[in-house]
């Protein structure tokens, strides 16, 4: 059922006045004559316009017959596609994020300089730290070519 007919079936004294227009008794006030005009427009998606010549608010008109705007205007399909994530992070945030990783690297460097053997765990942790720092630099838009 189209949106406009969904509305019209709730109204009294519905009378077609044009190809896409109807009049009806306004449900929102004590309507003696058909003060309500319903117009259907189709510009790619169906649009139903409701107007009460007595001045009723559209929300009141719809509410009086148990409808809401959502019944007339079904939610459009939201486009969830998001463009390339180009945002950059403030340097302070990046520094905070990599501060601990920098400590890991520093500790490894100290051990290396002291000639201490690397355990496998230290090695894995060092690789992780380096990868995290590189990821943080990428996120911050920092490049280091040469
Ligand atoms: Zn009215």
Task: State mean pLDDT over 71-92.
Answer: 60
* Domain ranges, ordered by start, for the chain: 3-72, 91-139
* Interval between CA 2 and ligand 1 midpoint (Å): 23
* Interval between CA 20 and ligand 1 midpoint (Å): 20
Please name the residue that has the structure tokens 């719809």. 62
- Residue 81 region by backbone torsions, left for phi larger than 0, else alpha for psi between -120 and 50, else beta: beta
Q: What pLDDT, on a 0 to 100 scale, did the predictor assign at position 74?
A: 58
* Interval between CA 137 and ligand 1 midpoint (Å): 62
With beta carbons less than 8 A apart as the criterion, state whether 83 and 40 touch.
no
Q: Identify which of 115, 120, 11 has the alpha carbon closest to the alpha carbon of residue 72.
A: 11
- Give me the DSSP letters along 96-110: HHHHHHHHHHHHHHH
Higher-confidence residue of 123 and 12: namely 12
Give the model confidence (pLDDT) of 4-32 as tens digits.
888 999 999 999 999 889 999 999 999 99
With beta carbons less than 8 A apart as the criterion, state whether 48 and 62 touch.
no
Q: What is the mean pLDDT of the chain?
A: 81
């Amino acid at each position: 059922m189209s949106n406009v007919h969904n509305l019209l079936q709730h109204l009294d004294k519905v009378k077609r006045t044009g190809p896409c227009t109807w009049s009806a008794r306004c449900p929102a006030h004590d309507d003696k004559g058909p003060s309500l005009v319903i117009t259907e427009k189709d510009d790619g998606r169906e649009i139903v316009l409701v107007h009460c010549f007595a001045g009723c608010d559209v929300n009141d008109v719809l509410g009086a017959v148990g409808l809401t705007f959502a019944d007339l205007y079904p939610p459009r399909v939201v486009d969830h596609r998001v463009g390339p994530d180009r945002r950059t992070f403030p340097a302070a945030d990046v520094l905070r994020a990599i501060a601990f990783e920098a400590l890991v690297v520093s500790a490894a460097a100290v051990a290396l300089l002291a000639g201490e053997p690397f355990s496998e765990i230290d090695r894995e942790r060092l690789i992780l730290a380096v990868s995290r720092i590189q990821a943080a630099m990428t996120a911050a838009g920092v490049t280091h070519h040469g």
